[in-house]
Each structure stands twice: as C-alpha cells, then as structure tokens.
Amino acid sequence: MRTILADSFTTSLAKLANDEQRQAKLTAFDLQANPDQPGLQFHRIDKSKDPNFWSVRASRDVRIIVHKTGGSLMLAYVGHHDDAYKWAERRRIETHPATGAIQIVEVRERIEEITVLPAPAQTEMAFDAQPPATASLIFVLLGAEQILSVGVPEDWIADVRKATEESFFTLAGHLPQEAAEALLEYAATGILPPPAPPVANPLAHPDTMRRFRVLEGVEELQAALDAPFEKWAVFLHPLQRQVVERDYSGPVRVVGSAGTGKTVVALHRVMQILRSGTGARVLLTTFSDPLAESLERKLAILAGGRQEVTDRVTVASFRRTAEELYALTMGRKAHVADRDTVRKLVAMAAADAGGTGFSPRFLISEWENVVDAWHVESAGAYADVPRMGRKNRLGQKQRETLWQVFLRVREGLRQRALFTPAALFQHVTSTYTGREEKPFSHIVVDEAQDLGVPELRFLAAIAPATPEALFFAGDIGQRIFQQPFSWLGLGIDVRGRSFTLKVNYRTSQQIRQMADRLLPRTIRDVDGLEDDRRGTVSVFDGIEPEVVIADDQAAEREAAAAFIRSALDDGIAPREIAIFVRSPEQLPRARAIAQAAGLSFRTATTRRQDEESALVGIMHLAKGLEFRAVAVVACDEGVLPLASRIADVADEFELDEVIATERQLLYVAATRARDRLFVSGAQPGSEFLEGFS
C-alpha cells in the first residue's frame, strides 16, 4: 500500500514531547511496513464528515490520524487522544473541483467562530455575522468562480466575499495555503494569480505536492520525520519546485526577501543535480564556515542519511574551498594575512612612498575595494580598473604615487609569503582558468549576495563551461559584506534566468511588513536586474512588533526584559529566543537584559543553534538562523550605523554603501524573528528606527 505523508503530520509531530515523538515515529514506520499487521489498532472516527479518517494508537494517549483509501494510507495528524479526534472531526480530504489539487479542508459548519485579536481587547466574530458597515470588503469584486479558481473550498466562498482587512488573516488560517496566498496577493496587488495548469493525477498537482509527499521506503519516511529544520525543506512550494527542477541554458540566480526559502531551493537543486547524473560532483558553498556547516547538516537530512549521495557533494565556504584547492595543486598550505597585518603594511608603504597626503582610510579602502579586489598588477591597469562608482577622481600624479604605495604593499606580502584572501582566490583562479578538467561539475551558491569580485571570478574558473554549472541563491537586500559590482562584466550573465520567490514562510505578516520598510520596494543591481519585493506575502499572521526608544539604557533594559518574560510566559522556550546587538561592545547590554528577564543564555561566537539556552550575539551571526522571538537592542545613534565605519569611508559612494549595508544588517537581524520582534535603543535612537514608525 502506498504511504503518503502530509505536512500537517510533520507539524503536529513537532509539538509532541520527545518520548511521544519517538512512539509516534515507531508506529508510523510500522504502518508503512505493514498496515495490516494485527498489533495496529485502527478505529474509525465516527463523528468525522470524512468516512476515510481512522485513528491508530501510538501510545496510551497519543493517536495517529490516518486517511485510508483502497490504494493508499496517508499519515495526516498526530496528537493526544482528544486533540487528534477533534482535528479529524473538523476536516475532510478531497480533490478540489476547480484546481484538481488534493486538499485538507476544514469543515465549514464545524468551525463556528473565528477569533480575532485587535489591540487591546479580544473580540470574536461569528462566521455568519455581517461585517461592520464601515469595513472595507476586500474581495467583493471577485465572483464565486474566480474565488473557487484559486483553491478556495466551495463552502468557504461566502466567507471570503465578506472578508475585511481586519478579519481576513484569521479567515486565511482556515483556508488551504494556496488559496490564502492567492487572496493575499490579490489584496496586495489587485491581481488574482492564475491557477496552476490541470494534471491527470491529483497527486502530481503542484499544490498537492506542497503538502503531501508520496514515500518510497522507510528510509525516506525517517528522513522526513527526523528533519529538524523548516518543513518546507520536505514540502516545496510550486514556485520553488519549478526553479529546482527545470533545465537552464546558463547561470541561474534565485532571489527573494528573507524567509522565502532560497536556501531550501539551493539544497533541493543539489539533490536534483545528484539524481540527474551519476557523474555529478557538486560544490555547495557560501560565505562562511559556520553557514557551510549548517548547509551540510541540512543536506544530510534531505538526503536521508545516504552517504553514497552526500559523498558526491563538497560543502565548504568560498575561502575554505580556495584553500583546499590551493593545497591540492601546490602541495602546501596557503598562509593568509589578517586585516591588521595588511593595514600596517599599507601605512608603512605610504610612509616610504610619500603617500602621506592621502588619509589612511582612503588608502585601505582603495587597496581592498579596487587594487586587491580586482587584482590590479600594473599602473596601466590601475588607471583602467572599474572603480565601482567611487567619487574620487584621481589625477595622473596621484595615481602614480598611489601605485607606488600599493607596489610596496604587494612586495611586503611577498616577502612574508602571505596571501590576502583576494590574492588567494586569484591564484586558484589562474590555476584553473586554463584547465579543461575542473574539480566540480556543478556549483550551487547560497547567500550569493555576499560574493565579491575575487570570489565570483574564482567560482567561474573552477566551474565547467556547461549551461547549468552555476546556480546562485541570495537576497540583494541582505548584502552586508561586499560592495556591488557588475556580474555581467565578469562574464556571469543571469539575464532571463533570474527568479524571485514571493512566499515568506518564516516571518509573520506583521514582522515582514515592518522589516520591509527598511529597504526599497525594488532593489536594482549594477547590471540592471531588479529584485521586486512588491507582492511578497507571509503565510501566517502574528503579533505587531514592538519598537522602543527608551529614555536611557535602564529603561530599555526594563522594556526588553518585559518582552522576553512575556515570551517565556507564553511557552516560548529559551532556545527559541535571541538577543542581537550591532557589535561586541554592546554585548554587555544584551547580557544585562537576559539576566533581568531571568533568561538562560549563551553568548555566541558561532551560529550553532543546537543548545537549549537563548542566543546572545552580534547581528552578523544572525544569518541563516531562525527564532520564535527576537530582541534587537542597543540600536543607538552612533551604534547603528556604526560610527567607526562611517569614519572609515573614503568618499560619498562608499558612505552610501556603508549606510545601505548597515540598514541591511538591521533587516537581517529583524527577519530572524518568526512570531515576535522587539527593537530598541536609547534616546535619541538610531536613525533607522524612524522608518518603523
């Protein structure tokens, strides 16, 4: 008998205690192996409108709800006895008459009330009540057939027609996800998205596959049930699936705001490549070692622990990959200079070459962002190099003096047998550019917005000249490390193969809307490609974020501690809470807030999220993490944007870039929050907080 896993089962399983999860999994394995074995106790859910719902005993009080038809057994839900039975009594599973997708539908007459929570008091709206005369009906212009066409069950059409802005999010929680998303998009843009094309097999419909997965064996079931990261790593949205599975004629770029599943798409793309050819050798890479380690763990889960699959994938950061390839080709380890060493060499070279007329910050910026980044090797090349919009116009004599400074820096590095990171990338780039044999058949890049010129050249050099060799996933709005530059100028052309994900799974509508105010509605890169964030929707509603500009640090501490205590009182575990600050200097304030709230915490220097205590760390460590509640504190004037970064800028262009990346850093930290967000500073507060009001 075919076994089908519903996303409602994985969601409910995660809510059980560890020992209850273990018993439920063992029973699920037994159901898949032999659903007819005598030890399994099936009981029909008599009060359910769907005659195919049955309960199976997993332990004394835990029941698995299955949907049993002649040819298949679906794992639909798991919970304590009364909860599981109520879930089944209020639902039916059916094929939608218009879309052809299989849906889990809430029975309209069994859901008597929608509870809405407008501040400050809780009120209730009965489904059959008429909306207030002053309320705006947001779907009144849509006909019943239009509403039906996007997957709204027939018995919910009248409720959609009566929905207002105040009531819709509560109503949306009772609708199938594709229907809620389509209506959200209509509310945001005035355009109702077209339905997916019909398919002969309902199980093959894109909207079916986003919530149901046909399992091939016990190993696949175990991988799906053991996955400790986002459930959408198992159940792909139709738009994600299209990007993952299609064939391409050149490099691909996937963009989207925080929480839209870019990393999940990258992971599934790796698995798609591995399934399509036995000779595939894949590099999965990102900008830091901790993020690479996180990707490796997630890929192992997605692969179901099959080592024969993961052995064909190298997961490493850009720099670690370059270091390993250097050691492989040269037979020795590369020694890389730290930034302080380079700064000292620049200062010494300026004194020796008579370059003291230039400020130290300009010299460092010119070295890092122009000479070293573009691997400038001659005075002529220095005159011609793209300066990425820099406003300083240098005369010939100034360039000649500067070039003498930078020659001395290069000589100082050579004498010490040191590479800069950019020089290491360039060395490996030169090694592989002329080689027909490449170390990888495919390269998949996560957090691609933080690629610099040397890194992109390096990846292009180690990739084969095949159409689908390069796949990039990232968010321009989360660029916090690199200055912008033209990918097209380096030969990476993603025009016509750039896709924007629009469905946010991680953050509530309220948090997403607030965070999006930090960024433009559309962001255009140097090559003119646009990341249009309009029309992005979150799939769930939540609590309005709190923004506090306190009179002083003591008042901020009190407000932030109250936010954390409220989260703890509502059952949010310490490991699901994080406190972020801009830089290490503000960490004592964050620790004081945690202590005032009685929160067990650890001060992190890495991105590991497997401990039981809360995370206290700097914003740069927030990348790739997710928490139910996040406090971003110490957002003071002079702290965000950071005064020392402002002091280091060399010209107006670089100032604009510093301000942009500091704003994007706050965006990254804020969008780590799933359900609750608190942002604070002491008077007068960061200029960025003005945008939240």
Residues 364 and 495 in one domain: no
Model pLDDT, residue 389: 46
The verdict on residue 621 lying in a domain is: yes
How many angstroms separate the Cα of 483 from the Cα of each of 406, 421, 500? 20, 16, 22
84: pLDDT strictly greater than 70: yes
Q: Is residue 219 part of a domain?
A: no
Confidence of residue 611 (pLDDT cuts 50, 70, 90): low
Counting Cα atoms < 13 Å in the Cβ hemisphere of 643 gives: 7
Phi and psi angles of residue 150, each rounded to the nearest 5 degrees, phi first:
-100, 10
Domain boundary among 101, 131, 164: 101
3-state SS of 107-144 is CHHHCCEEEECCCCCCEEEECCCCCCCCCCECCCCCCH
Residue with tokens 């359910």: 48
- One domain for residues 81 and 111: no
pLDDT band at residue 605 using 50, 70 and 90 as cut-offs: low
CA 592 to chain centre: 29
pLDDT at residue 110 greater than cutoff 50? yes
Q: Model confidence at 219, in pLDDT bands (50, 70, 90)?
A: low
Closest CA to 251 of 463, 455, 479: 463
Alpha-carbon gap, residue 236 to 137, rounded angstroms:
32
Residues 580 and 653 in one domain: yes
Whether 402 and 439 share a structural domain = no
Q: What is the CATH number of the domain that holds 15?
A: 3.30.2310.20
Write out pLDDT tens, residues 281-299.
999 999 888 889 989 988 8
- Residues 15, 63, single domain; the answer is yes
pLDDT at 36: 76
State what percent of residues in the chain have pLDDT above 70: 87
Q: What is the pLDDT of residue 477?
A: 64
Residues 557 and 521 in one domain: no
Mean pLDDT along residues 78-91: 96
CA 220 to the chain's CA centroid? 24
Per-residue 3-state assignment (H helix, E strand, C coil) for 375-428: CCCCHHHHHHCCCCCCCCCCCHHHHHHHHHHHHHHHHHHHHCCCECHHHHHHHH
- Please tell me the predicted confidence (pLDDT) of residue 134: 47
The residue among 628, 621, 643 whose CA lies nearest residue 678 is 628
What secondary structure does DSSP assign to 236-292, as a single string?
Answer: --HHHHHHHHS--SS-EEEEESTTS-HHHHHHHHHHHHHHH-TT--EEEEESSHHHH
Cα-Cα-Cα-Cα dihedral of 11, 15, 19, 20, to 10°? -70
Query: Quick check: is 490 in a domain?
Result: yes
- Give the Cα separation of 501 and 255 in Å (integer): 6
660 vs 122, 311, 643, 686, CA distance in Å?
Answer: 40, 40, 14, 14
Cβ atoms of 443 and 464 within 8 Å: the answer is no
Q: Could you tell me if 95 and 113 lie in one domain?
A: no
Contact at 8 Å (CB) between 296 and 229?
no
Token readout for 601 is 């915490």
Radius of gyration of the chain (CA): 28
Q: Is residue 86 part of a domain?
A: yes
Task: List Cβ neighbours of 11 (8 Å cut-off, separation of 6 or more).
Answer: 231
CATH code where residue 663 lies = 3.40.50.300
Helical (H) or strand (E) element with 297: helix 289-302
**Domain-terminating residue out of 418, 434, 457:** 418
Backbone dihedral angles phi then psi of residue 314, each to the nearest 5 degrees: -100, 125
Structure tokens at 494: 């993603």
pLDDT digits (tens, 9 = 90+) for 127-174: 444 555 445 889 999 999 999 999 999 999 999 999 988 788 788 889
pTM: 0.75
The Cα–Cα gap between 579 and 669 comes to 9
Task: Kindly state whether residues 649 and 515 are assigned to the same domain.
Answer: no
On whether residue 57 sits in a domain, the answer given is yes
One domain for residues 162 and 232: no
> When comparing pLDDT for 648 and 610, which is higher?
648
Find all residues with CB under 8 Å of 599, minimum gap 6, and list them.
564, 568, 574, 577, 614
| β-strand pairing of 442-445 with 313-317 | unpaired
The answer to whether residue 459 is domain-embedded is yes
Task: Report the C-alpha gap between 294 and 315 in whole angstroms.
Answer: 10
Which region among 19-33, 55-69, 260-274 has the lowest average model confidence (pLDDT)? 19-33
pLDDT of residue 115: 44
CA distances from 345 to 108, 410, 650 (A): 73, 9, 18
Residues 579 and 662 in one domain: yes
Both 20 and 81 in one domain: the answer is: yes
Name the average pLDDT for the chain. Answer: 86
State pLDDT tens for residues 461-482. Answer: 999 999 999 999 988 766 655 6
Amino acid at 537: V
**Whether residue 121 has pLDDT greater than 50:** no
Going through 482-557 in order, the beta strands assigned E by DSSP cover: 498-501, 503-504, 522-524, 530-532, 537-538, 546-550
Smallest CA-to-CA distance from 103 within 170, 29, 7 is with: 7
Give me the number of domains the chain comprises. 5
Q: What is the pLDDT of residue 114?
A: 45
* Residue pointed to by tokens 């020694």: 335
Same domain as 558, residue 681: yes
591: left (phi over 0), alpha (psi -120 to 50) or beta: alpha
Phi-psi region of 304 (alpha: psi -120 to 50; beta: other; left: phi over 0): left
Structure-token pair, residue 309: 């699959």
Q: What is the pLDDT of residue 65?
A: 97
User: What length is written for the chain?
Assistant: 693
**Which residues have a Cβ under 8 Å from the Cβ of 636 and sit 6 or more positions away?**
681, 682, 685, 686
Q: What range does the domain containing 451 cover? A: 227-330+425-532
Helix (H) or strand (E) holding 79, with range, is strand 72-80
pLDDT at 561: 97
Final residue before a domain boundary, out of 42, 74, 101: 101
Contact assessment for residue 286 and residue 446, using Cβ atoms and an 8 Å cutoff: yes
> Is the residue at 211 inside a domain?
no
pLDDT band at 651 (very low <50, low <70, confident <90, very high): low
206 within a domain of the structure (yes/no): no
**How would residue 275 be classed by pLDDT, with cut points 50, 70 and 90?**
confident
- Amino acid 202: pLDDT: 92
Q: Is pLDDT at 559 greater than 90 in this prediction?
A: yes
**CA–CA distances in Å: residue 674 to residues 54, 226, 245, 515, 572:** 33, 21, 28, 12, 12
